[in-house]
Amino acid sequence: MSKTKPPTSTTTAEQAVPESYEAGLHELESLVAHMESGQLPLAQLLQTYQRGAFLLNHCREQLQAVEAQIKVLEAGNLKQWGGNE
Protein backbone atom coordinates (compact mmCIF):
# COMPACT_ATOMS: atom_id res chain seq x y z
CA MET A 1 0.00 0.00 0.00
CA SER A 2 1.26 3.44 -0.78
CA LYS A 3 1.23 6.10 1.85
CA THR A 4 -0.19 9.46 0.97
CA LYS A 5 0.71 12.68 2.70
CA PRO A 6 -2.23 14.46 4.30
CA PRO A 7 -2.97 17.89 2.83
CA THR A 8 -1.91 19.80 5.93
CA SER A 9 0.62 22.12 4.32
CA THR A 10 1.57 23.35 0.91
CA THR A 11 5.09 22.79 -0.29
CA THR A 12 7.05 25.43 -2.18
CA ALA A 13 6.63 23.51 -5.45
CA GLU A 14 2.85 23.73 -5.09
CA GLN A 15 2.73 27.49 -4.43
CA ALA A 16 1.00 29.64 -7.02
CA VAL A 17 3.42 32.08 -8.63
CA PRO A 18 2.15 35.67 -8.74
CA GLU A 19 1.45 37.24 -12.14
CA SER A 20 4.05 39.97 -11.61
CA TYR A 21 6.54 41.33 -9.10
CA GLU A 22 4.03 44.00 -8.11
CA ALA A 23 1.27 41.43 -7.58
CA GLY A 24 3.59 39.33 -5.41
CA LEU A 25 4.64 42.34 -3.37
CA HIS A 26 1.03 43.42 -2.87
CA GLU A 27 0.03 39.92 -1.72
CA LEU A 28 3.03 39.78 0.62
CA GLU A 29 2.12 43.14 2.17
CA SER A 30 -1.46 41.95 2.64
CA LEU A 31 -0.32 38.72 4.30
CA VAL A 32 1.97 40.58 6.69
CA ALA A 33 -0.83 42.94 7.70
CA HIS A 34 -3.17 39.99 8.24
CA MET A 35 -0.58 38.16 10.35
CA GLU A 36 0.13 41.26 12.42
CA SER A 37 -3.56 41.66 13.19
CA GLY A 38 -3.32 38.69 15.56
CA GLN A 39 -6.63 37.30 14.33
CA LEU A 40 -5.38 34.12 12.62
CA PRO A 41 -5.65 30.67 14.19
CA LEU A 42 -2.29 28.96 14.63
CA ALA A 43 -2.69 26.55 11.69
CA GLN A 44 -3.68 29.35 9.33
CA LEU A 45 -0.85 31.50 10.67
CA LEU A 46 1.64 28.80 9.68
CA GLN A 47 0.18 28.51 6.17
CA THR A 48 0.22 32.30 5.81
CA TYR A 49 3.83 32.42 6.97
CA GLN A 50 4.80 29.72 4.44
CA ARG A 51 3.10 31.65 1.63
CA GLY A 52 4.79 34.85 2.74
CA ALA A 53 8.22 33.18 2.77
CA PHE A 54 7.57 31.86 -0.75
CA LEU A 55 6.50 35.31 -1.99
CA LEU A 56 9.49 37.00 -0.36
CA ASN A 57 11.87 34.56 -2.04
CA HIS A 58 10.09 34.94 -5.38
CA CYS A 59 10.28 38.76 -5.25
CA ARG A 60 13.96 38.66 -4.25
CA GLU A 61 14.74 36.36 -7.17
CA GLN A 62 12.97 38.70 -9.57
CA LEU A 63 14.89 41.71 -8.24
CA GLN A 64 18.19 39.84 -8.54
CA ALA A 65 17.37 38.87 -12.13
CA VAL A 66 16.62 42.48 -13.04
CA GLU A 67 19.82 43.64 -11.33
CA ALA A 68 21.81 41.09 -13.34
CA GLN A 69 20.20 42.34 -16.57
CA ILE A 70 21.06 45.94 -15.67
CA LYS A 71 24.68 44.96 -15.01
CA VAL A 72 24.84 43.33 -18.43
CA LEU A 73 23.28 46.37 -20.11
CA GLU A 74 25.68 48.72 -18.36
CA ALA A 75 28.67 46.44 -19.07
CA GLY A 76 29.17 45.83 -15.36
CA ASN A 77 29.29 49.55 -14.44
CA LEU A 78 26.14 50.60 -12.66
CA LYS A 79 25.54 54.33 -13.07
CA GLN A 80 24.62 56.57 -10.16
CA TRP A 81 21.01 57.77 -10.09
CA GLY A 82 20.31 61.47 -9.68
CA GLY A 83 22.64 63.01 -12.27
CA ASN A 84 25.87 62.79 -10.24
CA GLU A 85 27.98 62.07 -13.31
pLDDT exceeds cutoff 80 at 13: no
d(CA 31, CA 48): 7
Nearest to 10 by CA among 60, 41, 54, 42: 54
> Do residues 31 and 55 make contact, with C-beta atoms less than 8 angstroms apart?
yes
> Do residues 78 and 70 make contact, with C-beta atoms less than 8 angstroms apart?
yes
What's 68's domain CATH number? 1.10.287.1040
- The answer as to whether 50 is a domain residue is yes
- The answer as to whether 4 is a domain residue is no
CA angle (14, 16, 19) in 5-degree steps? 155
d(CA 20, CA 58): 10
State the residue range of the domain holding 34.
Answer: 18-73
pLDDT (tens digit per residue) in 21-76: 999 999 999 999 999 999 999 999 999 999 999 999 999 999 999 988 888 887 66
